[in-house]
Structure 1
Amino acid sequence: MDCFVIRGFGKKKDSHGLEIDFDKVDAALITPALEKCELIGGTTVRVVDAGAVHKDMFEFILKADLVICDITVHNPNVFYELGARHALRKKHTVLIKGRPSADATPFDITGARYTSYELAEPGEALDDLIAAIKSSLARGRETDSPIFLMMPELPEADVNSVAAVPLTFIEEVEHAEARADRGWLRLLAEDVRGELFQREGLKLIGWAQWVLKDYQAAIATWETVRRFAEQDLDANLALANLYERLFRQTEDPVQLQSSNQAIMRVLQRGGISPAHKSEALALQGRNLKTLWRITFEKLPTVEQRRECAIDLKAKQAYEAYRAAHKVDLNNFFPALAALQMGHILLALSGHMRFRNLFSGEKQARRFIEDLKEELTALRQVVRLSIENALATKENKDRRWAQISSADLVFLEHVYDSPEADMSAVVDAYRHSVPEDGVSPKDSGRWKGRSAPRDNFFWDSARGQLMLFEQLDIGAAAARAVIEEFDGPFSPTHEVKDLSQKRRHLVVFSGHKVDPKEPPPTVPRFPCSAQDRARDLIEAALVKLKNEGDQIEVLVSAAPGADILALETCKTLNLATWICLPMQREAVAREVFKDHDDWRNRFFDLTNTHPRNQTFVLSNNGGLPQWLGARPMMTAWSRGNRWMLHQAQAWGADRITLLILWDHNKDDKSLDGTAGMLKLAQKAGGIYIELIDCRPLASS
């Protein structure tokens, strides 16, 4: 969460001439409190203590989740900014005041609570300030602003009315999604923290993570959005979908409950549009359908699956979809879902157990008769709704309409002409699955990352086709379509091969070779020691390879240990993935300028390396424009964080950082090997294997 600090800068005097060092207070009290509470922000160099109050400062005051204001002395700028906060936002403003101070609290805020600290030792109040911050953020109190207390009907300012998302940020998110780079999106979610456009920026990232099926990361992103605004419709609808998808993977009931809770947050919010209400009700139907499917989809025979599928939840899901469509007749998704579930119920109605869903035979017959009439009418409604969407919608909404159009062709084939040629059904899906990007059947080459974004749309269609195949309803047509996209059909209930090797991702990092001119005062990795370094790296990789896992290696390509690791992996026939923080030419220019022989080896390796196994973070040779000036951040330190995020998003059974390191714990650099080690230690869940390079110095 984001925090803005309103305070004096440097040394200021109270009305009796007592000098107070506010920079000392910030360093000893405020900054440590923010770190302990995991808050991002503070003061900003763009806001000055004297002179005009900038637009940027007002944006920070408005957008910050929390404001800390020091009211120790009568500083006009401080109270002006505090007044702006109280007028713009209802709550989460924490006041602090040093003592002793000759300046009394102004009358207008005399009743406000504040945290005291001793001017001589401000750090002694650290625990008190941490408690005040946590209490403010957790408190259900409506407001801490005297303005909103006096005028409770006054509307709060819209935090989304300022700070548009920079185009360069939007483009970087789009590039990451286009490359199906989950690690890049996780990096962006980290980098956007504290920016004025953080909330809207996170939404863009969250959508992209959803498309790439990085569900855990997408949930974390959307939950961060929801911390800004608990009832945010985009966040809650996204979380309802994401938790349901995670439930399908894990069958953990907590995930489905979290999905249902997100849906209820939408439905309980006042003043929502029919479109949002319809979507939320449709998601309720989808969750019922998911619970229904897991009861039978892993059973081995069609007979067992069809018998188990005769369950009250199937009828409830159909009714929920119908109710969702009635709320918004323009929403074709619940109408199509109701049509699909209705046809499944009709296909199962001949089974003797179907009558058990009703209180008697008469009620069962009446339901079937009504269902047939409803489905006839519903088919026409769905067709018209899809045609309208195809004519009026754009981008992803249009793609959903295209897929839905193919789904309708499949249903009509199943119930109007099941014996007819299936090529029309196959063609309908072939034409509706977006053509940009690679076909889903080629997704195997995107190892370690999600398949391209268009697989997201195909996955939705595949899931519905698999349901019909499992219940032997239009099974031949469903299999024909799936084989067109995925190759030979593989039933989902097949037993997995438990003898398959575990995936073990090795992230390699190591020191660069020492420069020739000027030579270092204390050698670390002289060029003459490269054979010895290669032997150490090879021994470590052979040891990991002999453990029996499927080894893949993620490595950059700086002169020295990285190049040696790439050459060794080639000798050992280990799959490697090169991560370059910038374009190849920029890397060669920046880090190989004094190493001509290493540059040639770098070009040889990258020229022969599979292109789809080479990742490039930046196309411009540096930090993106939207990041601006970030203290302590360089393209190289950002590249390190990107590699670690790549590893965590890889989907491997084990991640190991294999690191050629000189054990220099005083190295504070974030750009190189020491920085990578610190990141891995902080990340958790990563094994660390050290290769001691200290003997190289004397080689």
Structure 2
Amino acid sequence: MAGFCFMVMPFGRKDSHAAPGTGPAEVNFDALWDKAFFPLLKDLGYTPVRADEESGSLIINQMVQRLYYSDLVLVDLSVPNGNVYYEMGLRHGMQRRGCVLVAADWSRQLFDVAQMRAIRYSLPVGEVDDAWGQKIRDTLRPVIPRMRDAISPAFELLPGYPGKVDDSYAEGVRDQVDALAAFQAEMRALRALPPASRHRQVAPLRAKYAAQSSLPAIAIGVLRFMVNSVEDEAGWQEILFYIESLDGTLAQDPYVREQRALALGKLGRSLEAITELNGLIEANGATSEREGLLGGRYKELMRAAIKSRATNEAKHFRSKAIEHYERGMMLDLNDFFPPCNLPRLYRARGGKGDESRIQKALHVTSAACERAIARGTENEWVRPTLLGVAFDLADADKAEELANIVEEEGAAKWAVRSTLDSLEESLAHVNDNGTKGRLARILERLRQASRCQ
């Protein structure tokens, strides 16, 4: 008899968080347990139990005891569930062996857990029936016995853990912590500088920490500062050079790959950026940011095709831009970046239903921008985007309300100069003469405010 297995997994129906087209929108984890995991563990000789089987979730002392004494803990990481991650971490710190991770093939794990080996199984359906349960069992059955003897990260990386950890490692850790604390203090001071002064600090910062660029926290911290300080094409070229100087493992970090794609796009290398983003999405999953970046690269290709009068190519690239911006919008309705790019693309396409889609995208953008401002999470593009939405919606009342705030808070905070041309373009599409006149007067007020910036 193999003993008993404690199954750590969600229960009930849960949103899969799968990227559109890659997996089911929702998973019935009770059916997954009934049809796949429970019979599989029985086949392997275990007595299977999961947290909710008795009377709801186990209270904390029972859960800790089960995690410690189980002969095997099987953890399903298919969805980002806080309890599952917490219980997995406890088991890793409790026992040297006997924790096996599994996950649906479309899932993407969070943070450092993504680096841990998990057995992948196919789950194209949200309702697991007998046939799919059998397929999942067939996939996992031969692998679980091999992986249950893998050593947990705590025991593998801390020789002597838990009772006799080698203290010779402590000095190196303290040195890393001291270096990181000093770096973070310097970064706080640099972030407090006026935006115009930050760019001058990029080269000294890179030189100062060149010897420590192999430390992920420092390398990514420098990169973030560079991205937030960039002023022109030369700055994006500096960013690309810096990324290409990083070691291979760090260069594959999802944030680093996103910034590489962004830099390539800013330098007019759209096809390379698209290749980078597609590879990133394949490896780490889609996000609203990544889909929005892809939409932007296709929009650049569309503009180039229009300029060269390649009509069919322009239509193709416009369709691809719309496709990716729409995906980004649906992945995160709180991200204003993907939907704010859609109205003009829809207007240029002028297809059936596009006017309705314009209104939907504008309302999503407006809500996302207002939410960011209310929560204090806005970046420099939120306010000008909100102005643009008011003009695109031909909402003179909202535009006037925002103009009053601009005059009160200052045009610089609203980056008014950066959006005046776009507002004028939006004004050209307003049909009602009365509304158009009001918006024209508001636009003139904004021009006047920008002159005083």
User: TM-score scaled to structure 1, two decimals?
Assistant: 0.33
Does 1 or 2 have the higher relative contact order (CA < 8 Å, sep 6+)?
1
Higher fraction of helix: 2
Which of structures 1 and 2 has the bigger CA Rg? 1
